[in-house]
Amino acid sequence: MLTFEHQFATLPEPLWVACQPTPVAQPSLIAFNDDLAAQLGMQTRPDDATLAQWFSGNRLPPGAEPRALGYAGHQFGNFVPQLGDGRALLLGEVVDQQGQRQDVQLKGSGRTPFSRGGDGRSPLGPVLREYLVSEFMAAVGVPTTRALAAVTTGERVVRQMAEPGAILTRVARSHIRVGTFQFAAVRRDEAVLKALADHVIARHYPETANADDPYLALLEAVTARQAALVARWMSLGFIHGVMNTDNCSIAGDTIDYGPCAFMEQFDPQKVFSSIDQGGRYAFNHQPGIAQWNLARFAETLLPLMREEGEAVVEQATEVLRGFTARFGAEQRRLHADKLGLAPESDRAVALMEALETQMHQGRMDMTATFDALTHYAKTLGAQALS
């Protein structure tokens, strides 16, 4: 059984709304992550029928107190002051076996006050997609949300056509986003903004609490995690697809697997979102967009920082400028690792640029290319030893 706590609920109520899931007709468990459940402290697995009831929202697990979280966001560059969990509910937090606090959230559990006319549901396809891709990302060491369970609802969800409905149980270090800070900032209530920032420092970045300016240190810490995260995406040929500020995790995790993909034919300009007609979130734009999102985060923190006027803007700008160097250093390290070179090797950059040119011209799959290089290297090694 999971032991729920509710630390986020201690924050001011504009940041969340208590809300119950909408019952479904015939819940059925189709996937359950036993390893993740054990990490969360579930020592004895309930039967499938009980799990289906819990993770459909029909009968909540003991101790759960569902809440929809509020956030704003820049969507394709356009600011929307209120978005929020339109089809998701935070059940609470669980402290895992490593002592880390993890959110447990139902996604597709019905309408909330943030639904904006939507039905609050999710088709089966996107649920399975997020389950599989997020668990792959975790397996290869990319910071990410996780998937605990997938449940079909026995109901149809109408999108372009009628599809089977499903609910995903998502686990994350938190669901606080850049958009959460924008949601607080747009209300011009500094007490709410400060409570949110202090919560994030205590939960995710305690090392910044004793800095001369904790909020400037927070910006720097979040910038470092985002730079490392996007470098890992790029090393795998991963395209997130919708890097809106409401999909930018303050904890530094990959969150919201919508039109994401791994490139089958290497193209720096590749886009996978059907609505991204301008290529805003193309593969090679991802570092710049992450930096842009961080600038929006910095804007929300300025009122909390110690300095004022031009001085505080310059301090924040200097931190944001550092994103490029952080990203570049991590990217070089990852490239060197993939090519079997020392991290400090200058050859790694030139070799990777040449290889990317070849992959683009040859319309090559990035993952398959490195797999082939690995087999080739093993063959050469075997020949050298024989």
Q: Which residues of 157-170 are buried (b: 16+ CB within 10 A; e: fewer)?
A: beeeeebebbbbbb
Q: Which of 85, 103, 212, 246 is catalytic?
A: 246
Measured distance CA(113)–CA(332) in Å, rounded: 45
Contact, 63 vs 172, CB < 8 A? no
Measured distance CA(169)–CA(27) in Å, rounded: 13
Sequence-ordered alpha helix ranges (H) in 58-154: 124-139
Q: What are phi and psi of 25, to 5 degrees?
A: -70, -50
Contact, 217 vs 208, CB < 8 A? yes
How many CB atoms lie under 10 A from the CB of residue 361?
A: 9
In one letter, which amino acid is 3?
T
Look up 246 and say whether it is catalytic: yes
Measured distance CA(47)–CA(34) in Å, rounded: 12
Count the residues in the chain. 386
Residues known to be catalytic:
246
